[in-house]
Structure 1
Amino acid sequence: MTISSTELLCPACSNSIDSSDNITFFHKSWHKKCFHCKTCYQQLTADNATMRYDDKNILYCMKHLPDDNIENSILTSSMRAYTHTLDLSSPSDWSIDDVIRWLNDISLEAYIDNFRKNEIDGSVLIDEVDGLNDNIINQLIPPLGTQMKFKKALRTLRNNAKISLKSNIDLKEMKQKCEGPLQLLHTIQQQTEQIKSLVLTINSQAQQIEEFLLKMLTNKKPPPINSFNQLSSTIQNQLLDLPSNIPKISLVSPNSSSSTIPTIDSMTPSILPLPANSGASSNIVPVATAIDGPKGSTGVLFPAVIHPDIDSIAIQPVLDDKYNFQNYGKYTVMIYDQQSENILVETLVNVVPEHEICMPKKFVLRDSVNNILVDATVMIKLGDQIVFTGKTDSTGTVHMPTTLPRNCYDVEINSGHAKYKSSIFRMIVYENYGPDINTQFICRQLESNQLEIVLKWGLLPRDLDSHVYVSDGRHIYFRSKCQGNVSLDCDVTNGSGPETIKITLQPNLKYLYVVHRYTREALLVNSGATVTFNDGEALNSSIPYQIIQIPVVNQPEANFWVVCEIDGTTKKIKMFENTFENHNYYSGDDIARKYFKQ
């Protein structure tokens, strides 16, 4: 880098600084001692990267340089271009300019021209044999005192170079000594990686063999089981006494696409076509079945009954645990002949959970007498982990998440009021089988001798009624809502419910609870009715109440569902299984006289 041949004046002493002939500004007439800032008189050196001059060639330090002269600084740009750090560990590699910089650093800049003319580079400077001797030094630097200063700096430079060289040699020797073990270590590492890769290959092949053996085992057809006699009388009745509108499903081959597989649930039977020349008897008869279900499914039975009069086979999945989400999915069902020897039918069905236990898109919360619950909390848990928390709005509604993975979840509802119980129940998340809305009626806190019975149902029939017959002759229903310590607290006539009965139980009395179909636009057994029993004894129980669901059976003329009898002394509830009455004497005591005698 060069500067123009313009006279520079020192602002401190007014001496002229010669920079003629475009000589490099580190060369020859460099007057380090004369570089001062005009404003603060700070001495500026070649090591000071903040030195600048203005358009009048007046020098300033960076702090006091006028703003409009920032870009007009040849000296500073030259300085920055030149400034770099000398490698003191390898002076033998220095160029002539590096040697000159070193002279500058040890304040011998007056002799720079001599070193440059004689082309003294780092190899000459550092060589103790053929390099600089006393005679050459005397020629380059005549003053004796300055020679002594130079020799001292040169000796230090050479000693440092020797130390650095010895360190490099030691490092090289050490590296050479380590090359053998390092090479061995590298070989060991390569072999280790090869062994790891081999182990992975072996494990992969072992897994493939295991999967192959498992597939061979699973392809073995399971033994047929005639599970009919293991079932409750309600399910037996559903399979034997088929309603006229029972859904018919087609046979599906094992290789069919998923879209063609018929969907069924555990609420009602479905019927399959009976193959021609099946050899079945003329009687309705249960037969054995074998199934192959989804991975993780357990406790699932598939009873089947042949109905030769309609050339059909009735089947119905029976789940030991309807909240085991792994029980739902694709099943291969094999139906055998009466001797359990030959397969009559082999087909596929897709078993899905009933809507009542599936997570809805939103909950609507009310109490057992139909009041809206605002700011009630709905919490969803998977094990001990809370996965969702929401609060009801002014309409009692809370929207549920739509991204929950398939599983079984615990749902806990807290109203925030001491007069209501927490509602705790389980629900399934399974694809898109949840209803749009699920209305939950929250039970009240009761005393130990009190019982609350809450009836809810679907949209049709529009009006179901709760009736309680007391063994002392009382009859509580919509025309006689309160008699003593038994009351009908809520009566609904436009579908869904709730119909709520509250009883203070008395010793030596019995109570008969019955559901009546008041409007007849739909079947009672298809109403989806559920009855919730909430009693004061369950105050500290993890299950706050008991729920009973109406059986879906072939009772098209049924007007009464006889649900249970409660003993006022023992507080025990005796359920009647699959019990209906067809008459319509809802205001009389015919039912009470019949069942209290049993």
Structure 2
Amino acid sequence: MRLGSISSLSCDQLCKYLHSSLGDEYSNIINSFKINQVTGDDFVLFEQKDYETLSVPWKFQKKLKEIQGSGVVDNPGSTPNPSPNPSPNPVPGNTSNAPTSTGRESLETQRDIIQMKSKIDLLSNSLLQLVEQMKVTKPPTNNFSNLSPATQNKILNPSPQSKRIPIIDPTCVGANSIPKLTGEVPSLYDATLLPNLPKGRGKPVSLPSSCDGPSDDVVFSQVYDESKNCIAIIPNVPNPYDISSYGEYVVTIFDESGQREVLKSLVNVNPPESIILPKKFMIKTPLSEPIDGTIELMYGGRNMFTGSVTQGDADLPLNLLDGTFEVIIKPNKSNLLPLKFKMIIHDSVRTTSSHQNVGRPKKPKEMDFVLAWGESPLDLDSHMWCIHPNGSISHVYFGGRSVDKMSLEADTQNGFGPETISIIRLDGCKYVYAVHNFSTEGEIAQSGAKLTIAHETSTLFERCIPNTRQTGARFWVVCTIDGTSGDIDFKDHFEFHNSQTDIPLKYK
């Protein structure tokens, strides 16, 4: 066996060595090393920011750091050629086949290096174990009051899509079926056998928790509902486009005092499906017309793909690496605006398809409100009310499509959308935007509705409907808009009546 320095390896040699040492599981990461021409000299100087720049998932960093820290590689190049006439059984007393003094010293030096490396590895592992033992667990915190009203509603009224998940012992090495959590819908723990839970409250109770995992920015919120005999839990990821936030976390839930443990479990935090890069885009105008044009994928400032959009369809390559991508859609028609947004790939997961809508150039103070939703309910309707300074109210919807510089451009009645309301804001006025479930089938709370708000040449906000068990809601009141400043105040409230006149009076 021959030892060498990692820093002496070329990019190709380093990638071959990493692949032989770590296996196919690391192929995506090794490809990223190739793309960025990382040499051995670069690798030994890696810092945490370099792993993050290359989007190396947290669970793969440990082994790479062990190799990096050793600085030594076995068999970095070709092995020494054997002697032309080896003599496996040298004749006693015949010194012609015996190692020379220099050869013996070389062998002894190699053995010393191997022994020293082994001792360093043992010491390194011992230090890592000591650090883990000394690590101070973050104190439990109760984050429920810091959640938006929409997220509070999600966790208090879990969606039909919420699933019961098992408690996974964090000490089980190689545990299978680690439950996957996203910020879209809460997951549920069965509380039947759990200790230290409050009793007889008659309402859901929020509980504190602590966690350890890839990112210190990620926290968890949970509520115990005695009537449903479950704990609803949801991760809070401040920056959903940072893939280093995702991965395995150990979550510990405590009683209300934060002193007694209720449960400890391993979970796997995943990105919401809505931001995962699909295999295909379907792209339309605000009037639901498919577009032609081009699509680009940018990764770390580099163009990774350029393709065509034909009749609204854009197929993407299937062999993309994990990371954060900027998507740029450029329509061929000059009266349509380019669309830019971010999406991610984490753990090689891709969705099948994604619907997107391009915008159009707008005048000063003009805003577009583009509503899209899922297959059910079939008919959701956009409504905009303008409350004038004198108290009078204007209303644009399918029954009156144009009034006071507000207009409805499409009324979709077979699912998905889009429906677009355009306004030119009037000074001193206040606007209220809401979505009405006109259909008699399906629940608006489970419609998957998304509102995109665009102003002049940019997209200001995208707002998704809270996905809850709420039944019977007829309106989703999304926001109010200041006509002078354009400031948006999101409400995310459900209304259960069917009166179009009550909405502006309540939210004026």
For normalisation by structure 2, the TM-score amounts to 0.72
* Partner SS state of residue 341, structure 1: coil
1:593 maps to a residue whose letter is L
8 Å Cα contact 1:333/1:348 also seen in 2: yes
Out of 147, 166, 169, the residue aligned to residue 231 of structure 1 is 147
Q: Which residue does 1:511 correspond to in 2?
A: 431
Q: Which residue does 1:240 correspond to in 2?
A: 156
1:417 maps to a residue whose letter is K
Out of 522, 547, 569, the residue aligned to residue 442 of structure 2 is 522
1:499 matched to 2:419? The reply is yes
Distance in 2, Cα, partners of 1:585 & 1:530: 22
Deviation at 1:431, TM superposition (A): 3.8
Matches within 5 A, 1:18-167: none
1:581 matched to 2:499? The reply is no
Matches within 5 A, 1:193-592: 204-205=121-122, 207-218=124-135, 221-242=137-158, 246-254=162-170, 255=172, 258-274=175-191, 275=193, 278=196, 280-283=198-201, 284-293=204-213, 295=214, 297-374=215-292, 376-393=293-310, 395-431=311-347, 433-471=349-387, 472-536=392-456, 539=457, 544-576=459-491, 578-586=492-500, 589-592=501-504
Deviation at 1:524, TM superposition (A): 0.8
Greater relative CO (CA pairs within 8 A, separation 6+): 2
* Partner SS state of residue 443, structure 1: coil
Distance in 2, Cα, partners of 1:380 & 1:500: 27
Deviation at 1:415, TM superposition (A): 1.4
5+ long unaligned stretches in structure 1: 1-182
2:408 maps to a residue whose letter is L
* Partner SS state of residue 128, structure 2: helix
Give the direction of change, closer, same or farther, for the CA distance of 1:406–1:483 in structure 2 (3 Å limit). same
What are the superposed Cα offsets for residues 20-59 of structure 1, whole Å, 9 maximum, x if unpaired?
xxxxxxxxxxxxxxxxxxxxxxxxxxxxxxxxxxxxxxxx
Distance in 2, Cα, partners of 1:328 & 1:419: 39
Deviation at 1:458, TM superposition (A): 1.0
8 Å Cα contact 1:263/1:351 also seen in 2: yes
8 Å Cα contact 1:282/1:309 also seen in 2: no
CA RMSD of aligned residues (A): 2.8
Q: Which residue does 2:86 correspond to in 1?
A: none
8 Å Cα contact 1:353/1:433 also seen in 2: no
8 Å Cα contact 2:157/2:470 also seen in 1: no
* Partner SS state of residue 409, structure 2: strand
Give the direction of change, closer, same or farther, for the CA distance of 1:518–1:336 in structure 2 (3 Å limit). same
Distance in 2, Cα, partners of 1:575 & 1:248: 31
* Partner SS state of residue 282, structure 1: coil
1:208 maps to a residue whose letter is N
Structure (1 or 2) with the greater strand fraction? 2
5+ long unaligned stretches in structure 2: 1-99
Distance in 1, Cα, partners of 2:173 & 2:121: 31
1:214 maps to a residue whose letter is V
Distance in 2, Cα, partners of 1:481 & 1:279: 54
Deviation at 1:502, TM superposition (A): 1.2
Distance in 2, Cα, partners of 1:210 & 1:420: 59
Q: Which residue does 1:595 correspond to in 2?
A: 507
Distance in 1, Cα, partners of 2:160 & 2:418: 30
8 Å Cα contact 2:453/2:459 also seen in 1: no
What are the superposed Cα offsets for residues 327-376 of structure 1, whole Å, 9 maximum, x if unpaired?
222222221123322212122322222111111110011111112111x2
Structure whose CA Rg is larger? 1
8 Å Cα contact 1:369/1:489 also seen in 2: yes
Q: Percent identity?
A: 29
Q: Which residue does 1:122 correspond to in 2?
A: none
Structure (1 or 2) with the greater helix fraction? 1
Deviation at 1:443, TM superposition (A): 0.9
Q: Which residue does 2:91 correspond to in 1?
A: none
Deviation at 1:206, TM superposition (A): 5.1
Q: Which residue does 2:49 correspond to in 1?
A: none
* Partner SS state of residue 513, structure 1: strand
Distance in 2, Cα, partners of 1:515 & 1:530: 10
1:270 maps to a residue whose letter is S
Give the direction of change, closer, same or farther, for the CA distance of 1:212–1:458 in structure 2 (3 Å limit). same
Deviation at 1:563, TM superposition (A): 1.3
1:570 maps to a residue whose letter is S
Distance in 1, Cα, partners of 2:442 & 2:462: 23
2:316 maps to a residue whose letter is M
Deviation at 1:573, TM superposition (A): 2.1
8 Å Cα contact 2:382/2:421 also seen in 1: yes
Deviation at 1:212, TM superposition (A): 2.8
Give the direction of change, closer, same or farther, for the CA distance of 1:191–1:402 in structure 2 (3 Å limit). same
What are the superposed Cα offsets for residues 245-301 of structure 1, whole Å, 9 maximum, x if unpaired?
7432232333275543222321222221222564522223222212222x3x23111
* Partner SS state of residue 234, structure 1: helix
8 Å Cα contact 1:463/1:518 also seen in 2: yes
Deviation at 1:553, TM superposition (A): 3.5
Deviation at 1:238, TM superposition (A): 2.8
What are the superposed Cα offsets for residues 152-172 of structure 1, whole Å, 9 maximum, x if unpaired?
xxxxxxxxxxxxxxxxxxxxx
Deviation at 1:546, TM superposition (A): 1.7
Distance in 1, Cα, partners of 2:113 & 2:361: 64
Distance in 2, Cα, partners of 1:241 & 1:365: 33
When structure 1 is superposed on structure 2, of 516-525 and 566-575 the one drifting more is 566-575
8 Å Cα contact 1:289/1:302 also seen in 2: yes
* Count of matched residue pairs: 401
Give the direction of change, closer, same or farther, for the CA distance of 1:388–1:286 in structure 2 (3 Å limit). same
8 Å Cα contact 2:379/2:438 also seen in 1: yes
1:591 maps to a residue whose letter is I
Distance in 2, Cα, partners of 1:433 & 1:517: 33
8 Å Cα contact 2:159/2:186 also seen in 1: no
2:476 maps to a residue whose letter is W
